[in-house]
Copies of this chain bind each other. A is one copy, B any other.
């Protein structure tokens, strides 16, 4: 039988993976490219997922003591000039506002030459500089510390090659920014938020991740340490799903964020920043999608249960709609995964088979098809999106209305867990730990990046020991890996006590790192 999605993702033909991804984004009604180059239109179903991410993560951010606030979209150019002096590797791909008015000149609309800004404004690529400036005014004494804030905002980083959700010039995110009295407190905060991201990703997105520290060459410019959570997509590539930065005193020094300590001395604060973005939605798609479309974990599904009434323009329709409305009324007060159940009766003017397949493609966790016979028998027939098929055949279950209502909270929790388990199994099964030399690494990943078959074949990650080289030696490692389109993802938090030999330098290893291809 035909799958619901127009493009199939089969493991023997990895070339279709990007097409399959795009097909889900499109056919699950998540987002579309916009007439503004590099930006996306997030459609209601996709934005609904983002709202669920916001609500569930925001709760965690507040529970760990952070307050939300809002800083300006535009940042004066001079702020970046200051940063450019202090921070090496500072990225310059930013949108620059130079005028504040349009004018018709010779019948053509354009920037008004008389409305040129004295100082150009930068559309925020991230807000460290402008928030740091506020910190320098807000913080005077140790009693003002810690400052723990977060903002949900749009940011812009110019991108040449974009892919919806994964890499767009404008994206939505949250950025946490904190200031502390001591290095220990800054480190503790950085790791605390890394753990919030890990737990959130695994519990809410059902997306297993490896939390760890980025190597020196992958740090956020200006950070003492950068940590990430890395998720494995179904093509074996890594997706950096969230980062947490221990900024030490670098930004505090650049921006004069100081406080008077107990001894009455003015000393620099230790700051941190951490963020996740709409990129997570791309991660959810590439973690849980299948050849029928998206499968959404119930915790982030805008609608967890969708009832499709089978209407035929006959008198029985009324009873079907009434039964469906009654079911919604009975579902609404139920609680699943700690929150009220979100159910919908889809009364759109559309063929019911089309509707059913739309909800399959969108990944609603439970899809109920309600016909006159079900209503007469008081039965509810439903499909589980996480377990849609028996071979090629669609699997449907039927329960009495009463039994269905009693089963719903358990079913949703089970679907959430199933999706996590499936992805967790894939992650664990695809991290090779038996590679002990560069030759073996090359043999596994393929010698040349130019070879598409090599690059696109499913590989997963390898976990190897290294001696944590720095400087030119690290540069050489980076180049070696780059030639195979590989990067070091992170050094996982759980490290052994003894290490093998470094596959790059031949010296004794001091750490294990994950290597893989990535988004």
Contact = CB atoms under 8 A, between A and B. Distances in A.
Nearest to A82: B109
Interface string A127-171: 000100110000000010000010001101010000000000010
A72 interface: yes
Interface string A338-355: 000000000011100000
A41 B68 contact: no
B95 A100 contact: yes
Contact of A41 (B42, B70, B111): B70
A43 interface: yes
Interface string A414-440: 000000000000000000000000000
Most buried by B among A69, A76, A112: A69
A157 to B, nearest CB: 10
A244 to B, nearest CB: 21
A80 B98 contact: no
A172 B112 CA distance: 26
Contacts of A348: 143
A35 interface: yes
Interface stretch (A44-52, A228-236, A374-382, A466-474): A44-52
A101 B94 contact: yes
A172 B109 CA distance: 27
A34 interface: yes
A312 interface: no
A80 B109 contact: yes
Contacts of A79: 35
Contacts of A329: none
A77 interface: yes
B130 A77 contact: no
A73 B42 CA distance: 12
A101 B158 contact: yes
A71 B34 CA distance: 8
Interface stretch (A17-25, A117-125, A189-197, A497-505): A117-125
